[in-house]
Structure 1
Amino acid sequence: MKTLLTTAASAAVLALSAVAAQAQCDWKPERAVTYIVPWGAGGGTDANSRMVASMLERKWGVPFNVVNRTGGNGVTGHSAIANAEPDGYTIGAATVEINTMHWVGLTDLTYEDITPLALVDIVPASVLVRKDSPFESLQDLLDHARENPGELTASGTSQGGIWHLALAGMLNAEGLAPDAIRWIPSQGAAPALQELIAGGVDVATPALSEGKSLVESGEVRALAYMHDTRMEALPDVPTTKELLDSGWTLAAWITVSGPAGLPEEIACSYEAALSELFATEEWAEFKASRGADVVSMSREELAEMLRTSNVALGETIEAIGLAK
Structure 2
Amino acid sequence: MQSLKSSGGFFAVAVAAVTLAGSLPARAEYPEKPVEMTVLFGGTANTTAQLLSELMSRELGSPVVPVARTGGGGAIGYAHVQSTRPDGYNIVWNSNSINTTYHLGNLPFNYEEFAPIAQVSVEVPVLAVNASSGWKTLEEMAQAVKEGGKTINVGISGKGSFTHLTSAALFDAMGIADQVNYVSYGDGKAPVELLAGRIDAAIQWPGQFLSYVQSGDLTVLGSTGAEPVSVLPDVKTAKSQGYDVDISMWRGLAAPKGTPDEVIAKLEAAAKAAAESEEFVAASKNIGFEPAFKSRAEFGEIIARDDKFYAELLGELGMTK
Q: Distance in 2 between matches of 1:234 and 1:46?
A: 21
Cα distance change, pair 140–103 in 1 and its aligned pair in 2 (3 A): same
Q: Distance in 2 between matches of 1:294 and 1:315?
A: 28
Q: Distance in 2 between matches of 1:192 and 1:259?
A: 33
Are 1:28 and 2:25 an aligned pair?
no
- Asked if structure 2 preserves the Cα contact closer than 8 Å seen for 1:212 and 1:290, the reply is no
Q: Which has the higher strand share?
A: 2
Q: TM-score, normalised by structure 1?
A: 0.83
Give the match's secondary structure for 1:228.
coil
Alignment length, in residue pairs? 294
Counterpart for residue 204 of structure 1? 202
Deviation at 1:291, TM superposition (A): 4.1
- Percent identity, please: 27
- Asked if structure 1 preserves the Cα contact closer than 8 Å seen for 2:154 and 2:199, the reply is yes
Consecutive unaligned residues in structure 2, runs of 5 or more: 1-27
Give the match's secondary structure for 1:118.
strand
Counterpart for residue 184 of structure 1? 183
- Asked if structure 2 preserves the Cα contact closer than 8 Å seen for 1:215 and 1:221, the reply is yes
Counterpart for residue 157 of structure 1? 157
Q: CA RMSD in A?
A: 2.2
- Asked if structure 2 preserves the Cα contact closer than 8 Å seen for 1:118 and 1:255, the reply is yes
Letter in 1 for 2:239: K
Q: TM-score, normalised by structure 2?
A: 0.83
Counterpart for residue 303 of structure 2? 306
- Asked if structure 2 preserves the Cα contact closer than 8 Å seen for 1:93 and 1:257, the reply is yes
Counterpart for residue 293 of structure 2? 296
Letter in 1 for 2:284: K
Larger-gyration structure (1/2): 2
Cα distance change, pair 263–101 in 1 and its aligned pair in 2 (3 A): same
Counterpart for residue 166 of structure 1? 166
Are 1:240 and 2:238 an aligned pair?
yes
- Asked if structure 2 preserves the Cα contact closer than 8 Å seen for 1:230 and 1:237, the reply is yes
Are 1:116 and 2:116 an aligned pair?
yes
String of CA shifts for 1:241-299, please: whole Å, max 9, x gaps: 2212x332211111112222211121111011211222222222222333443212111
Letter in 2 for 1:279: E
Cα distance change, pair 129–99 in 1 and its aligned pair in 2 (3 A): same
Cα distance change, pair 262–128 in 1 and its aligned pair in 2 (3 A): same
Structure 2 counterpart of 1:266, from 263, 267, 273: 263
Q: Distance in 2 between matches of 1:71 and 1:292?
A: 22
- Asked if structure 2 preserves the Cα contact closer than 8 Å seen for 1:37 and 1:68, the reply is yes
Cα distance change, pair 303–64 in 1 and its aligned pair in 2 (3 A): same
- Asked if structure 2 preserves the Cα contact closer than 8 Å seen for 1:39 and 1:187, the reply is no
Q: Distance in 2 between matches of 1:83 and 1:219?
A: 45
Letter in 2 for 1:213: S
Q: Distance in 2 between matches of 1:108 and 1:82?
A: 11
Cα distance change, pair 150–28 in 1 and its aligned pair in 2 (3 A): farther
Cα distance change, pair 34–197 in 1 and its aligned pair in 2 (3 A): farther
